[in-house]
Amino acid sequence: MKLLVAFSSALALATAASIATPPRPAKKSYDGYKVFRVAVGPEINRINALVDKYDLKTWKGAPRAGAYADIVVPPAQAAAFRADVADLEVITMHQDLGAAIADESSFSVYAAGSANATWFNSYHAYSDHLQFLRDLQSSFPSQSEIVTAGNSLNGNPITAIHFWGSAGKGVKPAIVLHGTVHAREWISTMVVEYLGYNLLTNYATSAEIKSFVDKYDFYIFPVVNPDGFLYTQSSDRLWRKNRQSTSGSTCIGHDINRNWPYQWSVTGGASTDPCAEDFKGRAQSDAPETTALVAWLKTTKANQGLKLFIDYHSYSQLFMTPYGYSCTTVSAKNTELQALAKGAVAAIKATHGLTYQYGPICSTIYKATGSSVDFVNDVVGSDYTFTTELRDTGNNGFVLPASQIVPTGEETYAALRYLLLNMK
């Protein structure tokens, strides 16, 4: 009888545990998937019809006339889709997307305590990113600290390294750099860390960098969507949104960069469909991550001022200014912002020869409402506000080889350096 009771108790505990912690969904395989880049002209309706017919995913929003559509096609549909667009200009970006993801995800082993430049030779697990920031901070204990802007939906801290110069912390205007708002944009994680690492580790040896860090406080947020980023590593490499549910829908995720409480209600710049990758949420700032970042940015602005905010994304090689919500309205500082953006893209080109385009978000890439840039520019009141789409222009898309981390970081630092030298 005692054995039976013990067995029953164990069974009840196991059952309760299984209810409390639902099994993780199987990792989505992209083996054999192809990514085609299709030039879209007058055939816009035809391309959209094919996307609907085969229920395909696109990487840069809905296909638009005059642009390229980057379309992900499962193995079973690849031949038929390719035949349907045989008369159009088509480039195969990925012959086997699964193989590219496997190569990209060959993380190097990170030894705690070794925050050095070898970090940038590969991509890394999320837990290692947090450890890297802790190790970097411990190398400069009197000049830096780990801070958080709050927690994600699942309780993961939105973590940054904050560092400062000779005047001490919190007394100079802030520069805030964001990465990985969209979970699948792994290169933005590494580049934001590269910028922080470069500034902090060269402070003692570079007079120019010392002048930057003495002039401003830097807040480096490599991953502001930690739940989504974790999901890209555990379940679906191409996941974009956070992991929030929506009442009345089985689809998961809000697009954090369509959820900011400014010009959120404007139509045409985000989706009201919870299943869409650019789902704006049921209400502005209803994503916990957005709410946390809004409060943190307002507090930082009030306490020390906000000189520069840059939100880093991928891909397309663009250096953009407000606004996303309108293609006709421009910032009151538009002339100065365009001049700075022009200089930044020239600095990028001078580094490794890559060409970036620049201009307001809406007219340069597409309309985007409820974005961080528009909010920070008009509500928080940053002196300068930009967003960048990093490498590349379509050979690899979101799955950028690790060999491009360092050169992307170098050219991105060149753009930041130009801003730091030329902002008023």
CB 219 within 8 A of CB 177: yes
CA distance to 1, 11, 24, 29, 244, per residue, from 14 (Å): 20, 5, 16, 30, 27
- Which is it for strands 318-321 and 357-360: parallel, antiparallel or unpaired? parallel
What distance in Å separates the CA atoms of residue 232 and residue 188, rounded to the nearest whole number?
14
H helices of 235-383, in order, are 288-304, 334-352, 361-364, 372-375
What distance in Å separates the CA atoms of residue 141 and residue 195, rounded to the nearest whole number?
19
Please give the helix or strand (H or E) that residue 214 lies within, else none: helix 207-215
Count how many Cα atoms sit within 13 Å of the Cα of residue 45 in the half-sphere of its side chain: 1
355 Cα distance to chain centroid: 20
> One of 145, 389, 410, 411 is an active-site residue; which one?
389
CB 171 within 8 A of CB 191: no
CB 264 within 8 A of CB 370: yes
Burial class (CB in 10 A: 0-12, 13-18, 19+), 56: middle
What distance in Å separates the CA atoms of residue 304 and residue 170, rounded to the nearest whole number?
6
What distance in Å separates the CA atoms of residue 369 and residue 274, rounded to the nearest whole number?
16
CB-based contacts of 118: which residues, under 8 Å, 6+ apart?
108
389 is catalytic: yes
pLDDT in tens, the chain (424 residues): 333 334 344 434 343 333 344 455 679 999 999 999 999 999 899 999 999 999 999 998 888 888 899 999 999 999 999 999 999 999 999 999 999 999 999 998 898 988 999 999 999 999 999 999 999 999 999 999 999 999 999 999 999 999 999 999 999 999 999 999 999 999 999 999 999 999 999 999 999 999 999 999 999 999 999 999 999 999 999 999 999 999 999 999 999 999 999 999 999 999 999 999 999 999 999 999 999 999 999 999 999 999 999 999 999 999 999 999 999 999 999 999 999 999 999 999 999 999 999 999 999 999 999 999 999 999 999 999 999 999 999 899 999 999 999 999 999 999 999 999 999 9
CA distance to 219, 356, 412, per residue, from 423 (Å): 18, 20, 16
Instruction: Check residue 207 and give its pLDDT.
Output: 98
CB-based contacts of 8: which residues, under 8 Å, 6+ apart?
none
Whether cis (ω within 30° of 0) applies to the bond prior to 87 is no
